Amino acid sequence: MTIEHTHFRTALTRSPFIGRIEAMTRTEDWATWNTYKTPRVVDKLSTEYFAARSSCSIMDLTPMEKYRIRGADARTYLDRLVTRDINKLAPGKVTYVVWCDDAGKVVDDGTVFQLADNDYRLCAQQHQLDWLRLSALGFDVDIDVETHDVAALAVQGPTSWSVLETAGFKGLETLPPFQMMTVEFAGTDILVSRTGYTGDLGYELWMSPDAALHVWDALFAVRDRYDVKCLGLDALEMLRIEAGFIMPGFDFMIAEAAVRDGRARSPFEAGIGWLVNLDKGPFTGRRALREEKARPPERRLVKLVVEGNKPVGEAYIFKGKHGEQVGEVRCTTWSPILKANLALADIRFINGKRPDDLWARFDYQKEIQWSSGWARCEFRAKPFYNPEHRFATPPQPF
Residues of the shown chain interacting with other proteins in the complex, contacts defined by CB under 8 A: 76, 80-81, 101-102, 131, 134-135, 137-139, 281-282, 284-287
What count of Cα atoms within 13 Å lies in the side-chain half-sphere of residue 396? 14
Please say which residue, 82 or 375, places its beta carbon nearer to other proteins. 82
**Nearest to 302, CA basis, from 322, 276, 323, 332:** 332
Greatest alpha-carbon pair distance for the chain in Å reads 65
Minimum CB–partner distance for residue 345 and other proteins (Å)? 29
**Nearest to 337, CA basis, from 369, 374, 385:** 385
Minimum CB–partner distance for residue 135 and other proteins (Å)? 4
**How far is 275 from 150, CA to CA, in rounded Å?**
27
Measured CA to CA in angstroms, residue 32 lies from 125, 128, 209 at distances of: 12, 17, 19
Please say which residue, 29 or 256, places its beta carbon nearer to other proteins. 256
Please say which residue, 199 or 248, places its beta carbon nearer to other proteins. 248
Minimum CB–partner distance for residue 288 and other proteins (Å)? 8
Please say which residue, 182 or 277, places its beta carbon nearer to other proteins. 277
Please say which residue, 136 or 190, places its beta carbon nearer to other proteins. 136
Please say which residue, 138 or 352, places its beta carbon nearer to other proteins. 138
E strand spans, the chain: 29-33, 36-41, 56-60, 65-70, 94-100, 106-116, 119-124, 142-145, 151-156, 180-185, 188-193, 202-207, 228-230, 299-306, 316-319, 324-335, 340-348, 358-366, 369-380
Please say which residue, 124 or 155, places its beta carbon nearer to other proteins. 124
Minimum CB–partner distance for residue 271 and other proteins (Å)? 23
CB 110 within 8 A of CB 97: yes
Minimum CB–partner distance for residue 167 and other proteins (Å)? 42
Please say which residue, 139 or 220, places its beta carbon nearer to other proteins. 139
Minimum CB–partner distance for residue 266 and other proteins (Å)? 14
**Nearest to 253, CA basis, from 133, 131, 346:** 346
User: 258's torsion region: left (phi>0), alpha (psi -120 to 50) or beta?
Assistant: beta
Minimum CB–partner distance for residue 75 and other proteins (Å)? 12
Minimum CB–partner distance for residue 134 and other proteins (Å)? 5
CB 198 within 8 A of CB 160: no
CB 200 within 8 A of CB 194: no
